[in-house]
Structure 1
């Protein structure tokens, strides 16, 4: 995406605190690391302050209807007290907001729900025919209220076009990191994850993590530093001795510690980085020779061999 990114955070009555503060803090850190973003907090009415479900008041809000969103904008819709969500005439109470939400989606804005925030998207009709998820406790109720939605269980994050949904509470943090990776790349995202000491959590059914973010669910700064060096210097060959010197260790100790900390050898980790980078480039139309060079390999044949080893099949044009 190009241009300045705007991130809007809806603060509804009785908002679930972590649903809003978790994602908000991740984007604050991204801004601190140089991302050109702006954060704006919205209310569902003309109030400039809203009480959270935890009793903490959140202020500096502006009414939602004062803003118009577009393709460079993203809106987080957090969960709120279910007693409000289950109010019989909620569609009438928040009619103007639901109409506004549909308009922003039609304008190309990305809409992201956290936990029971998916209900608001459902009431607005955005989830008809769309894959989505919500908090496990409300799966059956959600599906009964929105029968046209394709509700998936046991999923932490789901993306369907410009709609994103997450399972609840802390998964809003995972969703934020997922979006940050989409916008600013995996290396930048790994820095944010490291900064907040919250490394990504997924189940085997979740969208696959970039390998640039995998194997980093640890707090050993020396190994993180080695991983950073490898990821940022794929086009050049970095000897184990150089890596060891950077973190003031012997090559033998580094080899042992890397495997113990990440569960994978340095060589295998480097291969995985190369495979993902190559696939990204080839999928974008790059030639095999260019991808091989960018991955620090000596020839296209060397890259083809690596891809055959780590992927089940290759598109025919990748053999050129």
Structure 2
């Protein structure tokens, strides 16, 4: 079980906290349903047991930090502040917890103005980072050793992860779930939360498993779940239709409306994307083709040629 510890500061934004917390809570449910063994426990710590939020709702928190390991995550939600981000400063003890956790191999993340807390702890020096677009210039001014990246949803550099404004904490958390458990699990979490799973704005493209999930067809989502989990295997349209409880014609029509392609074309896209990754890691085209389920490399070469045109 991994701990996700949220460090709460006075006047924090509820969505900064709740968005990321909901992702990890839902991920724990999804992993439990799949019998994956891995799960998450959410903890909330603060200097005082009651923490006022920017929206007026008081929050309860622990005042003693739990013992953390390298697999655990600490997140700092942002707070309401003027454009100078002159909000609350962390205590020396809180800074020490952040620095110590990162020094032992753990990950530290922030949402919105929470990046200023990471900067106070010296964790942004020499690293790429971001924050809300209204606060980026101030972050760069206050922490000149930080490499502030504009107009991206989130950044990740040496286990220091920062996200842009408020709702982008959901994107950051989905990304972390995808990294730890694969894009199929992240897609299920996004589907459960009825959000569009996005990736970082400075990456050339998102995973196909996430890219084609911005629809609300439950039938198509169920078929995608099946394909995502078994895309390297031979999947027959009649079997997919039977499992989803509709005819082959209806499934093909629904899939085309929601995804813009047939189920088997979707499977081919997943295979191609995985094969390209393997080739990029040094595999031969022949071995990559076999690894993703093609009988030989001819089909993979045709798909690669088609994608290049």
Interval of TM-score (by shorter of Structure 1 and Structure 2): 0.7 to 0.9
**Does residue 1:180 correspond to 2:177, yes or no?**
yes
Partner of 1:51: 52
**Does residue 1:39 correspond to 2:42, yes or no?**
yes
Distance 1:162 1:228, change over 3 A: same
Provide TM-score, normalisation by structure 1: 0.85
TM-superposed CA distance for 1:77, in Å, is 0.7
- Deviation per residue, 1:128-186 (Å, 9 max, x gap): 12111100111111111112211111101111120111102111111111001111111
TM-superposed CA distance for 1:53, in Å, is 1.1
- Note if contact 1:155-1:206 (Cα within 8 Å) is conserved in structure 2: no
- Note if contact 1:158-1:207 (Cα within 8 Å) is conserved in structure 2: no
CA distance in 2, matches of 1:276, 1:38: 33
Partner of 1:252: 249
Partner of 1:62: 63
Distance 1:285 1:69, change over 3 A: farther
Give unpaired runs (5+ residues) of structure 2.
Answer: 33-37
Range 198-207 or range 19-28, more displaced: 198-207
TM-superposed CA distance for 1:234, in Å, is 1.8
CA distance in 1, matches of 2:192, 2:97: 35
**Does residue 1:81 correspond to 2:80, yes or no?**
yes
**Does residue 1:154 correspond to 2:171, yes or no?**
no
- Note if contact 1:234-1:294 (Cα within 8 Å) is conserved in structure 2: no
**Alignment equivalent of 1:194, drawn from 177, 191, 196:** 191
The aligned length equals: 302
Give unpaired runs (5+ residues) of structure 1.
Answer: 313-320
* Structure 2 counterpart SS, 1:212: helix
Partner of 1:273: 270
- Note if contact 1:258-1:266 (Cα within 8 Å) is conserved in structure 2: yes
Provide TM-score, normalisation by structure 2: 0.87
CA distance in 2, matches of 1:228, 1:97: 41
Report 1:273-292 matches (<5 A): 273-281=270-278, 291-292=288-289
CA distance in 2, matches of 1:139, 1:71: 29
- Note if contact 2:153-2:201 (Cα within 8 Å) is conserved in structure 1: no
Partner of 1:10: 7
**Does residue 1:163 correspond to 2:166, yes or no?**
no
- Note if contact 1:114-1:169 (Cα within 8 Å) is conserved in structure 2: yes
